[in-house]
Amino acid sequence: MSDEISNEVLFDLHRRMVRIRRFEETAGKMMEDGKIPGALHLYVGEEAVATGVMAHLSNQDQITSTHRGHGHLIAKGGAFDRMFAELFGRATGYCKGKGGSMHISNMELGMLGANGIVGGGPPIAMGAGFSNKFRKTDNVAVCFFGDGASNEGSFHEAANMAALYKLPVLFVCENNGYGEYTPQANHQAIVDVADRAQGYGMPGVIVDGMDVIAVYEAAGEAIARARAGEGPTLLECKTYRYYDHVGVRGMGLTYRTDEEVEEWQKKDPIDQFETRLAEQGILSAEAAQAVHDEVLAEIDKAIKFAEDSPYPEPEAVLEDVYA
Amino acid sequence: MVGKIGLLANPASGKDVRRLVARASVFDNQEKRAIIRRAIVGAVASAAGSGSELEFVYHNDAHGIVQQALEEFGGDIKATPVDSTQMSSALDTISAARAMRDQACDIVITLGGDGTNRAFCLGWQDAPMLPISSGTNNVFPNLREATIAGAAAGLIASGQLGSELMLQQKCISVHIEDEREDLALIDALLTNERFVGARALLKPDQFRSALLTRAEPAAVGITSIGGLLNPVDARADHGLWLEFGAAGDIVHAPIAPGYYQDVGVSVCQTLKLEQTVRCVGPGTLAFDGERERTLRDGQEAKLTISRTGPRVLDVTAALHRAAEIGSFIKPQQTQPAPKTS
């Protein structure tokens, strides 16, 4: 393992999590107010996972995301203005306003796309990993997926091939306990998705996905292992989404209790981290609040940019398509 | 007579980041279920014919490891879950330990590593225990076939053997200024690392000091550092105090499974029972191989070694004693005389 984590890294982890939280809170409110069309799957509560992993990646490393992809893109370096523009369906968005929330992507950042298909990402990440190895780079492909996606054939096939060819791929299971509205106990006979790793011939480890340092340390080891040519890893992060599967309060279904949500919120990744940083004299409460304020100001500007941006021209519908 | 055997399996043991860095063993929950089932088989076998009934008092963990093992075993056995939390954290183990203490279990079989057993002892410090290894650092639990471990537990619970085959272990009581108390069974180490994070202890250049109840040269973990300098076993009425730094011996030690590192030791001295040493933050205290508690700058922790820990059954001695008293020997069946007409 490397030396002690520097303050610069700690500040970076904190800011990335705050950026995700504030973006998602704002986007959720705008969706419920009818200002953003379509459905948003929000990442509030799971910030430590994307942050802890992405802090080890460069733009040359690739990620594949899920339908809950905003947090991944923000942690990978996505700009608020182009993201809001995409959610608003404007021509200045990351996908020229034609992708929206569930297909947001940016090749310059190595973000190979959010995905509307559950389990759609693993084969893409496996392919990127194959390319990285074939081209003899030291780049790594990271695949984010959920406990529900780990039941899909696409995941099994990708994990098998990645292990067979010792590809530089990190499979990050964001296990939030629910496949959409279905509790994990009702869709798989195991509790730890990491247990599946042995079946493919790769290591599987579990970390507390509400602890950004725990994720950062474990992901660092797995990514270093991938860069060294030692093959893929399955990293399971136990986490929780505070909002519903879609939107904030979604469809009002009673598939989980408020008490359960409140119990997880006691382990909030940002609150926990800010408390520890303050206790150790690394970042005061006032300095942490200043980060929130800066991020909120950036969001205000980004929304203005998006609202002032044009919609794509009708003829643009035939551009950027393969068939 | 009804003898009570506690059963507890930690679903989280054997799955942390040390699988990546150190290639430590992986224990999936199917394997843990199989281990528990074999322990039940052993316990039932050794108690059969003793005239005592067995009752299994178990922690129904969120993964259902013990519950499923009991169901697989089937048969006519009495099994009762204890009232314990379902937080998927060490709190579950602690609350289960308290419940087993309240139920007056004759012996408790635990499945996990040093960390699991430490958590158990936070709930029942002087518990009668038979720890089976399924963790990462396994100084405290036995690397032992579960069938035989279960048989030894059955001999105790059925009253065929007594507590003289148990050795009360040393432990370290931890008093942290302004905070709740804590406990270590094998080692307590202060590291410069500022966060608990992924818990593993893999950076010897960050180690500052350690108190060991046992210094085992034939084990992995922090205990091995002291063990390779000045071995201290479970029976010795002293521990070992280490201070780390470049101005001393460089010990090439397996600080995790499959992971040797050079560790500088500037002070290595024995410490008598009931003696106390002090650690001052900033830093993180690790207990039994895992970072657990952070210390603020200037915050003090007092570590006291004593023989007030759990009572652990000597499995080998128990089975030898069973052979002496014929616990597993059935009386010869008398063949009925053939009938003549």
In this prediction, residue A2 carries a pLDDT of: 44
B19 in A contact zone (CB under 8 Å):
yes
Contact (CB<8Å) A205/B196: no
Residues 235-294 of A with CB under 8 A from B: 238, 276, 279-282
d(CA B201, CA B204): 8
Per-residue pLDDT, averaged over A48-59, amounts to 98
Q: Which residue of A has its CA nearest to B88?
A: A238
Distances from the Cα of B271 to the Cαs of A80, B210, B274, in angstroms?
Answer: 59, 12, 9
SS3 content of chain A, % helix, strand, coil (to 5): 50, 10, 40
Encoded amino acid at A132, one letter: N
CB A128, CB A141: distance < 8 Å: yes
Beta strands in chain A (DSSP E): 62-64, 141-146, 169-175, 178-179, 182-183, 204-208, 233-238
Percentage of residues of chain B with pLDDT beyond 70: 99
Percentage of residues of chain A with pLDDT beyond 70: 98
d(CA A54, CA A219): 9
Sequence-distant (6+) residues with CB within 8 A of A285 are A274, A278
d(CA B236, CA B206): 29
Contact (CB<8Å) A4/B21: no
Contact (CB<8Å) A192/B29: yes
* pLDDT tens digits, B81-133: 998 887 778 889 999 999 999 999 999 999 998 999 999 999 999 999 999 98
Sequence-distant (6+) residues with CB within 8 A of B246 are B264, B266
Which residues in chain B are contacts of A225 at CB distance < 8 A? Answer: 20
* ipTM tops 0.95: no
Residues 152-171 of B with CB under 8 A from A: none
* pLDDT tens digits, A157-210: 999 999 999 999 999 999 999 999 999 989 998 889 999 999 999 999 999 999
Which residues in chain B are contacts of A280 at CB distance < 8 A? Answer: 194, 282, 294, 296-297
Contact (CB<8Å) B63/A192: yes
Contact (CB<8Å) A213/B15: no
Domains belonging to chain B, first-starting first, are 2-169+310-325 (3.40.50), 171-306 (2.60.200.30)
B175 in A contact zone (CB under 8 Å):
no
Tell which wins on pLDDT, B141 or B153.
Answer: B153
Average pLDDT, chain B: 93
Percentage of residues of chain B with pLDDT beyond 90: 77
Per-residue pLDDT, averaged over A82-96, amounts to 97
- Statement: residue B62 has pLDDT above 90: no
* pLDDT tens digits, A264-313: 999 999 999 999 999 999 999 999 999 999 999 999 999 999 999 999 99
Contact (CB<8Å) A217/B198: yes
Which residues in chain B are contacts of A1 at CB distance < 8 A? Answer: 21, 200, 202-203
Average pLDDT, chain A: 95
How distant is the Cα of A207 from the closest Cα of chain B, in angstroms?
7
CB A193, CB A171: distance < 8 Å: no
The domain locations on chain A are: 7-181+244-311
Per-residue pLDDT, averaged over B26-42, amounts to 91
- CA torsion sign for A148, A151, A154, A157 is positive
CB A154, CB A119: distance < 8 Å: yes
Give A7-181+244-311's CATH code, choosing from 3.40.50.2300, 3.30.43.10, 3.40.50.970, 3.30.70.20.
Answer: 3.40.50.970
Tell which wins on pLDDT, B23 or A103.
Answer: A103
Element (H, E) at A163: helix A153-164
d(CA A19, CA A107): 21
